Amino acid sequence: MVRIGYFANINHGQALVGLFNGDYQKALGPNVQIQTFLFTAGPTEMTALLAGQIDMAYVGPSPAVNSYIASNGTALRILAGATDAGALFVVTDSSGIKNASAGGVTAQLMGKTLLAPQLGNTQDIALRLYLEENHLVPGVNVTVQDTSNSNIVTAIVGGKADGAWVPQPYGSLILSKADAHLFLDERSLWPGGNFSTTELVASESFIKAHPDVVSRIVGAHVDETIWISSHKAQAVQVMNSTIQNLTGSGISSSVLNNTLTTLSFTYDPLESSVQVQAQNAFTLGFLKTAPDIAGLFDLTFLNEALTERGLPTISS
């Protein structure tokens, strides 16, 4: 048995496709069964992994780093990347906030109420760092509230907050449902616009106990990534169908298509961006010591899968 955690989010697209069309099970064969667990935020998911309730997970880099540091480097390893970019800072029209390119960011956001998915998650850290860099202090001259992505959409549509820093497709969903506009695409803050949004991780104990299972899952993940990237229209339909089955509500094709203009699927863990994200967490006080995450990445299984498929390997 392998227990895999993931979100009903498009940025966990490999799980949405591969777990539900049987590709992952086919890769494992009939003797190893998959049990899936649905989460809504990374810190909660990593708590489950640390408690031994799940073995592998699709999760944002910040919760993965935080858990690795908290366990003194013994809890988990990043095995592969899953998505690149796909995070938006959106604001309501009624807030009076214009956009980052208009300048005067501090004055624009002063006194506003802003939302993020969960304290310490990847978008929460991105938002808090951006505020700090613009001389804004949560609880002093700006308010930051953490809640689930679905609650964020409801709050913004209902006019209960001024803005939110969220992963896709929630940014595009807000823009389609609310009187809102884009304040900042996070890609503008990164060299080349590339930064890790989702990683595939596994507990260290599971890797040691079942390397054959891990190898097959990583291989299936690589295959799923390649298929999604080359069949985007079909992949979107499959993901949307899975999201609807999981949550009872699908997402419009226009929202999903807009999402794919800011998000890409990749098996590259984009290690350099994770290093920066880890330093950001330290800067904000989420990590008590300067992060040493040299041992966080185990790309052995990924590079074996890439070599088997005649693809270039990823350097750590």
If you average pLDDT over every residue of the chain, what do you get?
94
Q: What is the CATH number of domain 2-85+196-308?
A: 3.40.190.10
| 87-192 placed in CATH 3.30.413.10 | no
The 10 Å Cβ neighbour count of residue 141 is: 14
Please name the residues in contact with 215: beta carbons below 8 A apart, sequence gap of 6 or more. Answer: 301, 304, 305
In this prediction, residue 198 carries a pLDDT of 96
Please name the residues in contact with 110: beta carbons below 8 A apart, sequence gap of 6 or more. Answer: 136, 141, 142
Task: Tell me the Cα Rg of the chain.
Answer: 19
Distance CA 275, CA 79 (A): 15
Given a contact cutoff of 8 angstroms between Cβ atoms, the answer to whether 120 and 62 are in contact is yes
Both tokens of residue 91?
A: 């604001």
* Token pair 């799980």 in the structure block, residue: 15
In this prediction, residue 233 carries a pLDDT of 87
User: Longest Cα pair distance anywhere in the chain, in angstroms?
Assistant: 60
In this prediction, residue 275 carries a pLDDT of 94
In this prediction, residue 206 carries a pLDDT of 98
Distance CA 31, CA 305 (A): 21
137 phi and psi angles, rounded to 5 deg = -120, 115
Distance CA 27, CA 83 (A): 21
Given a contact cutoff of 8 angstroms between Cβ atoms, the answer to whether 285 and 99 are in contact is no
In this prediction, residue 157 carries a pLDDT of 95
Identify the bridge partners of residue 3 per DSSP, sorted by sequence position: 35
In this prediction, residue 289 carries a pLDDT of 82
Given a contact cutoff of 8 angstroms between Cβ atoms, the answer to whether 180 and 93 are in contact is yes
Starting from the edge strand earliest in sequence, which strands make up the sheet with 196-203, in order? 34-39, 2-7, 56-59, 196-203, 76-85, 263-265
Q: Length of the chain in residues, anyone?
A: 316
DSSP code for 181: E
Given a contact cutoff of 8 angstroms between Cβ atoms, the answer to whether 225 and 264 are in contact is no
Distance CA 152, CA 68 (A): 28
- In the chain, what are the domain boundaries? 2-85+196-308, 87-192
| Residue numbers in the chain where pLDDT is lower than 50 | none
Distance CA 40, CA 135 (A): 30
Both tokens of residue 191?
A: 């060299």
In this prediction, residue 257 carries a pLDDT of 86
**Do the domains spanning 2-85+196-308 and 87-192 agree at the CATH topology level?**
yes
